[in-house]
Structure 1
């Protein structure tokens, strides 16, 4: 009995183990247009989302399918699919069934082509990306468009990024700081203009011309002293002469 239980457990593990890696499979990182490592964008295949027949399925399931497709389109930032799908969902049941049956793949492919065109515009200098994208755009294969966006774009970018020249680091000279001498200006005493003395009076000449003032002070006393001496001498001479004359007459 035990070996039967053990065999059943091994069989259960055999079914679980292969399924685990597939469920945990995650897309490997890739390069963006600036050659930086980023997470890859994985675009869904619209044909894998449509798992019912829109003509015969219950309308509730048709509406659920339409909402799933709209959510995926908005996640991819599509511009063609969401507005037309919303218009069909706003119409009758027949309108929605007809759109999902005949036009959904065409709109989805249009959005994929728009994404490829944007990738070309973002990589103007990447020759491999441009050539691979142009080759895909020349076809109308849904598989080719999905393969390029999910894998081919990143493979072409790796080739273009590997071909770019590696920038050579240039030696940058480090300037040695030179000590600067700070000169502090001392406050200077403002210059004071010394007034030049201007004579307020001018000496008069002997003739009295020139408009000078009369001499006073020490010069006047000298002249008066000389005049007084001359006057005394004159008086003494007069007296002496008179006395001699009187004696002569007698």
Structure 2
């Protein structure tokens, strides 16, 4: 009976130890670019996969390592590295070994930089600042730190800021009365109607009120002349008699 308890504890530890890494990989949810809760995406550090000496490893070991890196690159949705590794796997073992020794980290770093730049689309001020810091540093460690942690911390700050309230501008109310009184232009007087014109036809004849006045004066003069003639004739006839 005294060995049953230690045996039970050992069995429990045997089940808990494999489960510990799985529990450690469970990350709290984060916010995406739309400020919605999503699962955190962790980018793999492929340097941790290189556990063999590439100078002394067998061709089989080199190919196994290349396939592990390919799987990690596909899981991280890297833009270029998966196609490059697949091309080397289709080639010779010497080319694959040389690529893993010298060029794989360069291609991986380029893909991480592209991934950092992609996070700037529609990003807020905090995310842009954190991304620019990582791009300025330009190292694999800086890219991984931003993609795995800095991006989500900066996005949380951006999402916590209230959205700016749009300012509504009212349209101007049309006035019922015009702002300025418009007066019709005065008709131009035809002063040249009674005056002689400068053209070939000369001026127009004077008619209307002026003609009637002259005729009236003429009539009065005729009457006075007739009356004077009759008076003078009567005096002459009396003098003769």
TM-score between both structures, scaled by the size of structure 2:
0.62
The equivalent residue for 1:153 is 151
Aligned pair in 2 of structure 1 residues 166, 4: CA closer, same or farther (>3 Å)?
Answer: farther
Change (3 A) 1:152 1:20: same
* Mean CA deviation greater in 59-68 or 83-92: 83-92
Larger radius of gyration: 1
Number of residue-to-residue matches in the alignment: 165
- Structure 1 runs not aligned, ≥5 long: 169-250
Matches within 5 A, 1:1-250: 2-14=1-13, 16-17=15-16, 20-24=19-23, 25-123=25-123, 126-165=124-163
C-alpha separation in 1, matches of 2:18 and 2:122? 38
**Deviation for aligned residue 1:65:** 1.6
- Which residue of structure 1 aligns with residue 213 of structure 2? none
Q: Root-mean-square deviation (CA), in Å?
A: 2.2
Q: Which moved more, 1:100-109 or 1:128-137?
A: 100-109
1:111 Cα deviation from its structure 2 partner? 0.8
Specify the SS of the correspondent of 1:138: helix
Deviations 1:56-88 (A, max 9, x none): 112112112212211221222212212322232
1:3, distance to aligned residue in structure 2 (A): 1.4
Q: Which residue of 2 aligns with 1:222?
A: none
